[in-house]
Chains A and B, each alone.
Chain A
Amino acid sequence: MDADVAQVEARDMEAREAESREQFRSLDQDVQSLKKEVLDLNRDLFLLEEELLFPANSQVAFFISMDVGEYFELDSVTIKIDGKEVANYLYTEREADALIRGGVHRVHMANLKTGDHELIAIFTGKGPHVRDYRRGATMNFDKGIGAKFLELEISDRVKKQQPEFIIKEWE
């Protein structure tokens, strides 16, 4: 009784497995190709969105980066351009960790006229000895004709055991 049923079941199962493996593979190949197409489409849409919303002539992008991050645990960044607050970003632990590992976060994109502008960045977080820490950095920059990238870098000043906030321009 047991052997008959088991044999029938085993044969059925093998046939089913082979058939479904073939079916899975064919579906998987379709899924792979769709993934590629959707990624390419997203790339094109991403570029279109950027060009549409932030044309190269007026585009300014603000990036946040960290080096080791031993003396500063980032909570949030506020950005003011020409005295007007344009961005206020609160970082999750996961995001702050990605920054420490070398990631760079594009915190804000803006359209600015050519000429001089003032940037103020305010960083809040935990400083040395886990104390609340709030510091600002200011920079005047000249917006030329092409796109401009500004990096707000938080780095450790080992000598003073303090964080340091630097604003850099990318050419």
Chain B
Amino acid sequence: MPPGRSIRSRLCLLLVFLTPVVLGATDRSEPIVVQDPQYGEVLFYFYQEDYFPALVRLLAAKEQERLTHHADEAELLLGGMYLSYGHHLEAAEIFERLLADNVDADIRDRTWFFLAKIWYQRGYLDKAQEALSYIQGDLPEHIQREALMLDAQILLDAGEYDVAIAKLQNWNGRTEWASYAKFNIGVALVRSGRVDAAAKLLNDLGEMDPFNEELTSLRDKANLALGYALLQDGQPYAAKSPLQRVRLEGPFSNKALLGVGWADAEMDNYDRALVPWMELRGRDLLDSAVQESMLAIPYAMAKLDSISQAADHYLNAIEAFYEESNRLDRTIDHIESGEFFDEFIANDPLDSTGWYWRLEELPEGPEARYLFHLLATHEFQEGLKNYRDLSYLYRNLDTWQQNIDVYANMLETRLEAYAERLPRVEESLASADIDGMVTRKLEFDSTMNNIEESHDWLALATKSEFDTWGEITGLESTPALHADIPEAAEVSDKISLLKGVLQWQLERDFKDRLWRIRRDLRLTGEALVDTQRSRRQIDETMRQEPLRFENLSARVQDLSPRIEGIKMRVEDALSRQRGFLQSIATGELQAQKDRLDIYTIQARFALAAIYDIAATAGEASE
């Protein structure tokens, strides 16, 4: 195969194997021509996205050296499947090796990009950045934009705002990616304290005319970020306008309403501040903005000298926070009981492990409402994936553990049956004298050679012919035939004629008979050779079988503790992974509880202050 074609075909294959990652699993490519059935079997599972059985079969076929026609493709497929299976570190090693040379730069760059993306989502920021640095050429436009965003996002996460800003600065255009880039620069500028510079960018975004829901949401986000940045910068008047641009119904509306209220409050306009805050009162208490508004309302009322109303609102807030805090406690207890995460995956069949799995629906129950936004985070999703994969591994090992016991029993039974049959087989083999048969066959050969050489046609006569011959020669020697009478001469002539006819017939059939006997002897010889070969095989099998049993028993004995050992480690990892997910979830809930505690303390202090003022006013009036 010319090198050019080899490279091209490898490129196509890489795309095929990365297809689920790159294009989604529904992509249709030209069927691959299979030359080793085991390779086709791997593809059968791969195309169904059953990566675990596909990987096992591929590794087994490699071990058995049954992929001779597909060695290169098998390696690429292995890398692609490791990636699909979420085994990204091993996949990267394979790709690093295969992508080192002989692969088109475009494919290599794409592969590095996808690895970078996966590593970023898994929190391997250093590896993600390293993978991005390997990209040498220009990626296709849509991937190029995503790669740039990814690069900038990694820098933002690392706090390197200026470098991130520099990377995103030259990005123009009216695409969604450009809008996201602008937003990210704006956020980076705010974080680095350059509010004025951020304000221009975020304001542009906040005033854009969005053409889809995603951009509308981004516009709200930009307005919210700008509003709060200006509020914190002491510019309440300027903050109001962007905050008021946020939609009244949407994921950012509560925070925006709260901010508008604070902007008015900062300008001592408490009447106006109460309008958005009162709107928040009827909304979901889970939202921190709604919680905060429950303190903000009495704060404004107190400022407006509605002391009694303010005290009522503080009392209501304290009561509501107390109840919410109790609910959080119950939820934390349930999560810590360990059942919660099993409910997450309980209704989901464990057949498609790996990269593409995402939890689509939250399990029902009070926890879900507290944690829904946790699911949007990579860390929680990836943690759940790992938890799910570990559960799959655990069940897999559990099944093998049962099977291996069955295999051990099976081997034992076979060994017993073999030991029982062996003496009978040996006895019957001993009674078959194959060597004696061979000797007899050789003797026959020698006899036939003599017959042929001496042209002994009588030797090949049938029994009746031989008897007839005997009778004729017997008659020849009858003394009466030697009498000098015409009858004797006549009988002698007849005997001679009969003898002559018989001899003529025997001589005529001699060659044919010789050929037939020789053919039968040859067939006998072949049958004897087959028998000897079979015998050798039986001897070999009898020699090998105990070794085979020994080898299989040793493997079973070795695998059994191996399964047990790994199963224990998987169990431990499951418990640690569950602990990790629990700690994220309870950490999140605890943070909500801490916030409520702080609000409760603030409410109590404010209430005490109100009572003080009321008491002081009462004393003064007395």
Question: Given the known A-B contacts A1-B602, A28-B123, A34-B573, are A103 and B41 also in contact in the complex, defined by CB atoms under 8 Å?
Answer: yes
Chain A residues 1 to 50 lying within 8 A of chain B, measured CB to CB, are 1-3, 5, 8-9, 12-13, 16, 20-21, 23-25, 27-32, 34-50
Whole-angstrom CA separation of A9 from B569 in the bound complex: 36
Of A72-80, A91-99, A116-124, the one contacting chain B is A91-99
Whole-angstrom CA separation of A105 from B46 in the bound complex: 12
- In the complex, whether B151 has a CB less than 8 A from a CB of chain A is no
Question: Given the known A-B contacts A13-B591, A44-B555, are A101 and B573 also in contact in the complex, defined by CB atoms under 8 Å?
Answer: no
Whole-angstrom CA separation of A9 from B588 in the bound complex: 11
CB pair A103 B37 closer than 8 Å: no
What count of chain B residues pass the 8 Å CB interface test?
A: 80
The digit string for B507-518, where 1 denotes a CB below 8 A from any CB of A, is 000000000000
Residues in B whose Cβ lies below 8 Å from that of A65: 34, 37, 40
- In the complex, whether B43 has a CB less than 8 A from a CB of chain A is yes
Residues in B whose Cβ lies below 8 Å from that of A16: 587, 591
The digit string for B60-90, where 1 denotes a CB below 8 A from any CB of A, is 1001100000000000000000000111111
Whole-angstrom CA separation of A15 from B583 in the bound complex: 14
Query: What's the least CB distance linking B80 to chain A, in Å?
Result: 14
Query: What's the least CB distance linking A104 to chain B, in Å?
Result: 3
CB pair A49 B87 closer than 8 Å: no
Whole-angstrom CA separation of A145 from B533 in the bound complex: 12
Chain B residues 5 to 59 lying within 8 A of chain A, measured CB to CB, are 28-29, 31-34, 37, 39-41, 43-48, 52, 55-57, 59
Of B174-182, B464-472, B559-567, the one contacting chain A is B559-567
CB pair A48 B60 closer than 8 Å: no
- In the complex, whether A100 has a CB less than 8 A from a CB of chain B is yes
- In the complex, whether B324 has a CB less than 8 A from a CB of chain A is no
Whole-angstrom CA separation of A48 from B553 in the bound complex: 10
Total A-B Cβ pairs within 8 A: 187
Query: What's the least CB distance linking B588 to chain A, in Å?
Result: 9
Chain A residues 52 to 106 lying within 8 A of chain B, measured CB to CB, are 52, 55, 57, 61, 63, 65, 67-68, 94-95, 97-106
Which one, A12, A42, A67, contacts B56 given CB within 8 A?
Answer: A42
Which one, B37, B89, B382, B407, contacts A52 given CB within 8 A?
Answer: B407
CB pair A101 B29 closer than 8 Å: yes
Residues in A whose Cβ lies below 8 Å from that of B55: 39
Closest to A38 in B: B393
- In the complex, whether B95 has a CB less than 8 A from a CB of chain A is no
Residue among A13, A45, A57, A65 with the most chain B CB within 10 A? A45
CB pair A97 B47 closer than 8 Å: yes
Chain B residues 84 to 101 lying within 8 A of chain A, measured CB to CB, are 85-90
CB pair B41 A5 closer than 8 Å: no
Residues in A whose Cβ lies below 8 Å from that of B570: 34, 38
CB pair B87 A32 closer than 8 Å: yes
CB pair A34 B31 closer than 8 Å: no
Question: Given the known A-B contacts A13-B591, A101-B29, are A46 and B34 also in contact in the complex, defined by CB atoms under 8 Å?
Answer: no
Whole-angstrom CA separation of A48 from B410 in the bound complex: 13
Whole-angstrom CA separation of A104 from B88 in the bound complex: 27
- In the complex, whether B495 has a CB less than 8 A from a CB of chain A is no
Of B133-141, B383-391, B608-616, the one contacting chain A is B383-391
CB pair A27 B386 closer than 8 Å: yes
Chain B residues 590 to 622 lying within 8 A of chain A, measured CB to CB, are 591, 594-595, 598-599, 602
CB pair B37 A106 closer than 8 Å: yes
- In the complex, whether A151 has a CB less than 8 A from a CB of chain B is yes
CB pair B393 A35 closer than 8 Å: yes
Residue among A1, A23, A38, A68 with the most chain B CB within 10 A? A38
CB pair B44 A34 closer than 8 Å: no
Which one, B33, B45, B59, contacts A43 given CB within 8 A?
Answer: B59
- In the complex, whether B496 has a CB less than 8 A from a CB of chain A is no
CB pair A2 B393 closer than 8 Å: no
Residues in A whose Cβ lies below 8 Å from that of B46: 98, 103
CB pair A32 B587 closer than 8 Å: no
**A interface vs B, CB < 8 Å?**
1-3, 5, 8-9, 12-13, 16, 20-21, 23-25, 27-32, 34-52, 55, 57, 61, 63, 65, 67-68, 94-95, 97-106, 145, 149, 151, 170
22 A–B contact pairs at CB < 8 A? Answer: A5-B599, A9-B591, A24-B383, A27-B577, A29-B89, A31-B573, A40-B59, A41-B397, A42-B52, A43-B59, A50-B60, A52-B411, A63-B37, A67-B31, A68-B31, A95-B44, A98-B45, A98-B48, A103-B41, A103-B44, A104-B34, A149-B37
**B interface vs A, CB < 8 Å?**
28-29, 31-34, 37, 39-41, 43-48, 52, 55-57, 59-60, 63-64, 85-90, 122-124, 232, 258, 262, 292, 295-296, 299, 379, 382-383, 386, 389-390, 393, 396-397, 400, 403-404, 407, 410-411, 537, 541, 548, 552, 555-556, 559, 562-563, 566, 569-570, 573, 576-577, 580, 583-584, 587, 591, 594-595, 598-599, 602
Please name 8 further chain A to chain B contacts, defined as beta carbons within 8 Å, in addition to the given A39-B56, A41-B566, sorted by A numbering. A2-B262, A5-B595, A24-B123, A25-B122, A41-B562, A42-B56, A45-B563, A68-B31
What are the nearest 4 A-B pairs in CB distance?
A: A104-B40, A103-B44, A98-B47, A102-B31
